[in-house]
Structure 1
Amino acid sequence: IMELDEWYHAGFTVIEGGDSDTLQMYVNGEPEGASGTRAMETCAGGYFIGSHKNLAAGSRWPGVVDDVRLYNRALTAEQIQKVMIGSAELAGAPAPANEQIDVVREAILSWEPGEFAATHDVYFGSSFEDVNDATVPISAGQDATSFNPGRLAFDQVYYWRVDEVNGTPDKTVFKGDIWSFTAEPYSIEIPGDTITVTASSRSNEFSTPEKTINGSGLDPNTGTHTIDPETMWFTGTVDLDPWIQFEFDAVNKLDVMTVWNSNGSAEMAIGWGVKDVTIEYSVDGENWDVLANANQFSRAPGSPTYNQPDEIAFDGVAAKFVRLDIQSNWGGILMSYGLSEVQFSMIPAQARTPAPTSGAADVLPNSTVTWRAGREADQHTIYMSTDMNAVAEGLAPSVSSSTNTVDLSSLSLELGQTYYWRVDEVNQAEAASVWPGPVWNLSTVAALTVDDFESYSNISPDRPFQTWLDGFGYSSDEFFPNGYAGNGTGAGIGHDIWSLSSPHYDGDIMETTSAIAGSSRSMPFYYSNSGGVTSQTQRTFATPQDWTAGGAQTLSIAFSGQAGNTGTLYVKINDTKITYGGDPENLTLGVWQAWNIDLSGMNVQNVTTLQIGVEGSGAAGMILIDDIKLHGKPGEVITPVDPGNAGLAGAWSFDEGSGTVAADSSGNGRTGTLFEAIWDTGVQGSALSFNDTGYVETGYAGITGTGARTCAAWIKTTEANRVFVSWGLNTAGKKWRMRLDATGGLRMEVNGGAHFGQT
């Protein structure tokens, strides 16, 4: 009997036996129950995991399913056990991925080693049977988890396996799975939707030139073309100068043009199909060359089984235009001509498939971009600029690379910018030595994150005080065998979740109820400067950081204080101290503030340590710290200034915490009356929570006319597209509302429609 809420490995096998098949059940790799026999019938329909879609809801599986395997043969008991145990001993995660296609010819094979492997035996070839049965590896006893098979053949399927060999004394060999991949083809089809086609004429609105490139009438699996005339192109009834022209979206290195001739049911009787033809090509549409040794197309049979098109070799010429000047048709009766389908393939000489993909956002300015290199390219010219036209015209700043990668840090990209880039593939030994690439784009991140505190938790090695060291330190464990005795200061990082007397007992080390917008947690920094010590936490970066990357000029630290905090906040960057220049009382405010530190005059290209501390004799308290980021613009610090009570028309703090009225602390006596509003916890003190029916009525008509006004409030909502302050009559210039729109943007509305200052 299987216990509920426990993992089991379940399986069954069916051994064919003519009219009586044998069924066997397995639980945790062992045969269970008596085997049975039953006459089996052909099973129709698809396989479902979890439940059959037609089962009633109460019959569907209510639990978890993992690692489902379906074989078209009956496994042995030993094989069932192997399936259950899994493949920890085997090599895995092959690259190229199993059955991947279009793999570059210079591919390096790699894999993740088995758990106990000391060395690896590699088998490789173009035959599944040879690789599966081989006992002599092509590379034996290698330490590396990669293998260079040499240059691959075009469009060839390859098979490979990696046997993992344990270390001494047993040196057990674990035979690996057989993986396969297909090397890239010599040429690739140019998509029809990237080709513009024009012609001398057309017979009607159905048999247009576009029918030659849209695949209509062509079976993509068999290559046969129908006899339906509406899937073909025909000229007008009398066309004295027939031609058809194909324009690609860029200059391509053409390989083959494949032509299915006119294939209507009366083709053998009438003969619309093109016979004699002059094929021309051009890179600019003005200067043309004639393709040699190609001046006639074969006649189509007028049959729905037509699958023998002509293949015209272009031998890698560069062209953006191909024009067919038709000289005659196969019938010689009518002056009307037709074609069924025309396809082009190109040798991929241009750069393609950029990584990150074109349009990518939040790209780090010091990251690396790559692309798939054009065929035979031995040098790459990379243009990059915020000016798209300059990139397209090849006038932007450029760098050269001998590989298909470039380090963006060498291009001095700035934060928060959109850049356009292109790669020209170069080989001076080729007839066409430069192949300009398409224009791609990427956007750099608005700010670089030093620490967003999202990855910390209660579990080692992700406890915050294991990264941000404090005065308490931490004990040794499997991740930190030496432990840490503390830094000798009065700092404590994280809530105390271990002491029974702590309000955070058995809770979260990180603060999860107060964080900046878009963040799920912040880091508590407790400090107590008793005995004259300061309180300080420090983080050491394993890899030195360049805080000038992307033109960064400002270090921004988000913090929130609490009532009763004392002391002066400071940071140290590589032991260079910067003291908080704002009002010391800001540490007592339970609101999120940004401390922006100007880095423009500092040496921050090799930052190894960042320390945050509070100094002052006897200072004590707790602050929350959230996003620490680097921004590209100099910091603009807004220093809070008390506006006083001049012009204050009404102020409702909602700190009563109970009752049905909200006092007006402006001194104007505009007490608010609560209607179905609920008392709740506020940013400071209490607050009011509203639903679809709750509100506060003050009786104050608001500020009318065009006079200056200000309205400010702390808000928090679970749903957008709602109003939080409203006043006035719904007449011109008298109805005002502050609200969030459907996207969460803040807006001020007049008369319920016109809006200003939307964010």
Structure 2
Amino acid sequence: VAFWDTPLSAADIAALGKAGDKFFTPKRASAPAPADGATDVPRDATLSWKAVEYPCTHDVYLGTTAADVDSATRANTKGVLLSRGQADTTFDPPGLLAYGRTYYWRIDEVNQSPDGTVAKGNVWSFTVEPYAYAVKPVSAIASSFQTDMGPAKTIDGSGLTGDLHGTAQTTMWMSTGALPNWIQYTFDKVYKFHELQVWNSNQIMETYVGFGAKDVTIEFSTDGTTWTALAAVPQFARATALAGYAANTTVSLGGIQARYIKLTIDSTWGGSNVCGLSEVRFSYVPVQAWSPQPANAATGVAIDTALNWRPGREAGSHQVFFGADQAAIAGGTAPAQTVADHSFTPGALNFGATYYWRVDEVNTVSYPGDLWRFTTQQYAAVDNFETYTNDEGGRIYEAWVDGWTNGSGSVVGHLVAPFAETSIVHSGRQSMPLEYNNVKSPYYSEAERTFSSPQDWTGNGADTLSLFYRGYTTGFLDKGNNTFTVSAGGADIWGTADQFRFVFKALNGDGSMVVRVDSIGNTHAWAKAGPMIRETLEANARNACVVVTPGNGVSFQWRPTTAAASSNAPTAGLRAPYWVRLTRTGNVFKAERSADGKTWTQQGSDTTIGMATAVYIGLAVTSHNAAATTTAEFSNLAITGAVTGSWQALAIGAAMPSNDPAPLYLRVEDRTGKTKTVVNPNASATTVTAWTEWRIPLSELSAAGVNTSAIKKLALGIGDRTSPKPGGAGLLYLDDIGFGHPVK
């Protein structure tokens, strides 16, 4: 979308028409990294951006004053034009950036020829990492405290709005007055502490009673047993006793190493034995390696990844321990490599493997690092279907040859754009829809891709070929012996029009159907399954049915005239398995129910519906949930009357895709022509409704003589490729074909 603040002339509009999509491409540098407004940016950060699409060079402006960066030009650089006419879209600022400083930067795109036009860029900003970071204690204890005024109040942020404290006494710590008065903080590990910021006791009466700490002894310990007193602790400033009180005491902790810090209040501003504090905030200097990349416990990490981390403030070099042995890395007994920069390339890694690493920061003092881990990607893509477009030459069916070319019953892709599937995907944006029709010869459906160069599926511990597939449930299955499975979606059988699946035969005149509803999936309390007699196959047709529901018992319902509202007579508390019977005598319809199929109870009263003589009788199922599919199981079905024809299944009122059961197979061929076909173990793979992974051991292919380091063709098919026989039809989705090693 584009907006103009002035009217466009006819020439302007014509120019836009000629530009087409190119009009919407960026006219200036974009996608800054660090992102505009970013904080905690490393001091050695490199700047990068996305250039415009026309040939150009780049002018880089960088400084600490926004106005200078915005107004500087080539003619008047104001000291912030740090690189002129560079070709690269990255810039490494000279030296290290200043701790905590906000920088502003701008990239101008300079047209190379013929005129050197300058497209002035936006001004972006970022703020560099601080020298020290806030760290919150994990707990606080005290010598004593009053009700609702415990020591945890000093570290929970209660009473603070931003960095300003209020006067409510229940947002502070207050002792009972029993000497000595102390409060102690425990941290999750040893830190090198920088400063302590203090908000003193700030009750509204503080000016008069002076509960605030004045003279304080600060002690620190690494183990909670051996304590050392901090020298030169300043007197704590008195609070204002006003709302909006800012911290007014900062204690330099001088880089002490501690896990425990204890404050003993030796005196208060009012001389009372009762004392208190509102809030404290500690900061530490990071001397260990931190912020690992990949992040600790990351998964799906690329097998060619490089490791990076934020270096400790005092590090002169970095000792890196890396490997698959957790104990050896944690204990520092594994071989280590010393590097000068805060990055390390471990070399080729295996698929689906977990690696451990640790970085010790080394100088006059060594700071052992934490143990980190990550797990590599399971698979590399053979085809993830993301690169296909709707343009000629890039369409999915041009890469995957289907039945239009190979004569099988397959159709790859949708008939109109978008040709790849964009809604039903396992990951990413697209998957491959594969339509199959095995009703006619050759009774199998196959799509094949030929690679431009042979594929090597070995290396990095690869031992598995993987793909994901998903189909649709079977709409109707006659299992023999008067036993059936019917699946359906649909909003409901109700109101003035219905959405359901109807499995039916033709009925002329009087007749009945009795059936046992063995089960129905609980997609809604009013999902329905049972016999129906229906005048037509239109959604708003007259009908009568008696249904079993998951949560509302058994119900007799009907629509007396076309497009009229439906009515019902329900009985709550009944659940499948349950028997139901529907009978037509003339225009009178009777519903019955039975727990055992022997003793019957009428459901509601006889209902008169003026239907034609020729109608339809069958099984009706709706999920009462347009976003879900329910499945009903029926048995002991019996019909009376002049019933003709074979069973037919029809989705009425809404589309309800369904698949006939069929096996899925895969065939590979190497560059010498060696082939191997592997069949999915699920003979009804096409009816799986959730994305399902199929893993094929590469050893199964190599055992057949296939060279898995030189795969030339890959085929995916539905049906029995070895002994083709007539089957059904449907639509299967495929995604994320890859090779590698699954995570154990």
TM-score if structure 2 supplies the norm length?
0.57
Distance in 2 (CA, whole Å) between partners of 1:224 and 1:207 is: 19
Aligned to 1:182: 127
How far off its partner does 1:312 sit? 0.8
CA contact (8 A) 1:349 1:425 kept: no
Aligned to 1:281: 220
Aligned counterparts, 1:344-743, within 5 A: 344-358=282-296, 360-368=298-306, 370-377=308-315, 378-379=317-318, 381-382=320-321, 402-405=340-343, 410=348, 412=350, 415=352, 419=354, 421=356, 423-429=358-364, 431=365, 433-437=366-370, 442-445=374-377, 447-453=379-385, 455-456=387-388, 458-464=390-396, 467=399, 495=411, 520-522=431-433, 537-540=449-452, 547-549=458-460, 551-555=461-465, 571-573=668-670, 575=672, 577-580=674-677, 596-598=697-699, 607=709, 609-612=711-714, 626=734, 628-630=737-739, 632=741
Distance in 2 (CA, whole Å) between partners of 1:279 and 1:516 is: 58
CA contact (8 A) 1:554 1:631 kept: yes
How far off its partner does 1:285 sit? 2.1
Aligned partner letter, 1:597: L
How far off its partner does 1:139 sit? 1.4
- Count of residue pairs brought into register by the alignment: 516
Structure 2 CA distance for partners of 1:275 and 1:634, relative to 1, 3 Å: closer
Distance in 2 (CA, whole Å) between partners of 1:576 and 1:285 is: 72
Aligned partner letter, 1:133: S
Q: 1:90 aligns with which of 22, 28, 32?
A: 28
Distance in 2 (CA, whole Å) between partners of 1:598 and 1:512 is: 34
Aligned to 1:232: 172
CA contact (8 A) 1:362 1:443 kept: yes
Aligned to 1:686: none
Q: 1:208 aligns with which of 139, 150, 158?
A: 150
Aligned counterparts, 1:41-440, within 5 A: 88-136=26-74, 137-150=81-94, 151-190=96-135, 192=136, 194-202=137-145, 204-220=146-162, 223-239=163-179, 241-294=180-233, 296-304=235-243, 306-332=245-271, 334-358=272-296, 360-368=298-306, 370-377=308-315, 378-379=317-318, 381-382=320-321, 402-405=340-343, 410=348, 412=350, 415=352, 419=354, 421=356, 423-429=358-364, 431=365, 433-437=366-370
CA contact (8 A) 1:511 1:523 kept: no
CA contact (8 A) 1:380 1:401 kept: yes
Distance in 1 (CA, whole Å) between partners of 2:209 and 2:249 is: 20
Distance in 1 (CA, whole Å) between partners of 2:287 and 2:322 is: 17
Structure 2 CA distance for partners of 1:87 and 1:411, relative to 1, 3 Å: closer
Aligned partner letter, 2:224: G
Distance in 1 (CA, whole Å) between partners of 2:743 and 2:159 is: 63
How far off its partner does 1:210 sit? 0.7
Distance in 2 (CA, whole Å) between partners of 1:570 and 1:461 is: 25
Distance in 2 (CA, whole Å) between partners of 1:467 and 1:590 is: 22
- Structure 1 unaligned segments of length 5 or more: list them: 1-6, 13-25, 33-83, 474-489, 498-503, 527-534, 636-759
Per-residue CA deviation, residues 134-185 of structure 1 (Å, 9 max, x unaligned), is 2233211111111122211122121221221111221112222222222222
How far off its partner does 1:208 sit? 0.7
Across the aligned residues of Structure 1 and Structure 2, the Cα RMSD in angstroms comes to: 5.3
Q: Secondary structure at the match of 1:275?
A: strand
How far off its partner does 1:237 sit? 2.5
Structure 2 CA distance for partners of 1:10 and 1:167, relative to 1, 3 Å: closer
Distance in 2 (CA, whole Å) between partners of 1:181 and 1:331 is: 46
Structure 2 CA distance for partners of 1:579 and 1:231, relative to 1, 3 Å: closer
Q: Secondary structure at the match of 2:184?
A: strand
Q: Secondary structure at the match of 1:114?
A: coil
Structure 2 CA distance for partners of 1:263 and 1:545, relative to 1, 3 Å: farther
Aligned partner letter, 1:300: A
Task: Give the structure with the higher percent strand.
Answer: 2
Q: Secondary structure at the match of 2:254?
A: coil
Aligned partner letter, 1:122: V
Q: Secondary structure at the match of 2:267?
A: coil
Structure 2 CA distance for partners of 1:339 and 1:31, relative to 1, 3 Å: farther
Per-residue CA deviation, residues 666-701 of structure 1 (Å, 9 max, x unaligned), is xxxxxxxxxxxxxxxxxxxxxxxxxxxxxxxxxxxx
Distance in 2 (CA, whole Å) between partners of 1:513 and 1:128 is: 45
How far off its partner does 1:186 sit? 1.7
Q: Secondary structure at the match of 1:381?
A: strand
CA contact (8 A) 2:233 2:251 kept: yes
Distance in 1 (CA, whole Å) between partners of 2:168 and 2:682 is: 80
How far off its partner does 1:379 sit? 1.4
CA contact (8 A) 1:548 1:604 kept: no
Q: Secondary structure at the match of 2:70?
A: helix
Per-residue CA deviation, residues 168-206 of structure 1 (Å, 9 max, x unaligned), is 22111222222222222222222x4x531111111x221
Distance in 1 (CA, whole Å) between partners of 2:178 and 2:682 is: 88
Distance in 1 (CA, whole Å) between partners of 2:300 and 2:743 is: 20
Distance in 2 (CA, whole Å) between partners of 1:299 and 1:559 is: 69
Distance in 2 (CA, whole Å) between partners of 1:232 and 1:496 is: 69
Structure 2 CA distance for partners of 1:215 and 1:134, relative to 1, 3 Å: same
TM-score if structure 1 supplies the norm length?
0.56
- Considering Cα pairs closer than 8 Å and 6+ residues apart, tell me whether 1 or 2 has the greater RCO: 2
Distance in 2 (CA, whole Å) between partners of 1:633 and 1:268 is: 68
How far off its partner does 1:94 sit? 1.4
How far off its partner does 1:213 sit? 1.0
Q: Secondary structure at the match of 1:598?
A: helix
Per-residue CA deviation, residues 652-679 of structure 1 (Å, 9 max, x unaligned), is xxxxxxxxxxxxxxxxxxxxxxxxxxxx
CA contact (8 A) 1:380 1:400 kept: yes
How far off its partner does 1:263 sit? 2.6
CA contact (8 A) 1:556 1:595 kept: yes
CA contact (8 A) 1:465 1:494 kept: no
Aligned partner letter, 1:208: G
Structure 2 CA distance for partners of 1:209 and 1:189, relative to 1, 3 Å: same
Structure 2 CA distance for partners of 1:280 and 1:308, relative to 1, 3 Å: same
Distance in 2 (CA, whole Å) between partners of 1:268 and 1:588 is: 81
Per-residue CA deviation, residues 280-321 of structure 1 (Å, 9 max, x unaligned), is 222222333322221532333444454352111123332221
Aligned partner letter, 1:211: K
How far off its partner does 1:386 sit? 8.3
How far off its partner does 1:621 sit? 12
Q: Secondary structure at the match of 2:28?
A: coil
Aligned partner letter, 1:577: K
Structure 2 CA distance for partners of 1:324 and 1:183, relative to 1, 3 Å: same
Q: Secondary structure at the match of 1:276?
A: strand
Distance in 2 (CA, whole Å) between partners of 1:512 and 1:268 is: 68
Q: Secondary structure at the match of 2:156?
A: coil
